[in-house]
Amino acid sequence: MQETNLRIRLYGDPVLRKKAVKVKEVTDSHREILKKMAQLMYEASGIGLAAPQVGISESMIVVDCGSGLYKLINPKVVKKEGWQVLQEGCLSVPGVCIKVKRARKVLVKAQDEYGNHVEIEAEDLLACVLQHEIEHLTGKLIVDYASFFEKLKMADKLKELKKRSKDERLSESKDKSCQLQL
């Protein structure tokens, strides 16, 4: 696994649309990435973050809705019950909020940061956040839930985010090319 510069990637970054690969063996490197993801999530005042959002296409998420930090590897929703509609934001799509219909209760199976199998029964906000972050692992974003009219209203904002994302990627590639010059 190659560690990239851990920064929150913005809408328009291709990594956000890539399907994350399953982690075959949990290593110290994965634990370090999860630790850094949690720090970044807290610094950004978020309650969830998926590895693709920091440029890593591996199946890992961190979540903390106030009841404790979950560091999950290869999470999968295996059971859903009921429905709820909540207004959701996303650290990768700042300034955009969308009403999303999700299951009110879920059962998630995953591995913890040590490779142990875990099951999490979640309701309400925690269920919503887990579903949101797990969808990031498939390349799905909250903007995909927006109606045609909502997309029209936020078109300028999304265009601005795409430009910022492109500028950040260009700046990052220039920084890397300069590291070899003397």
Q: What is the DSSP string of 37-103?
A: HHHHHHHTT-SEEEGGGGT--BSEEEE-SSS--EEEEEEEEEEEES-EEEEE--TTSTT--EEEEE-
Give the largest Cα separation in the chain, rounded. 61
Please check whether residue 73 is in contact with residue 120, taking contact to mean a CB–CB distance below 8 angstroms: no
Q: Is 168 a catalytic residue?
A: no
Among 58, 113, 133, 135, the active-site one is 133
Residues carrying an active site annotation: 133
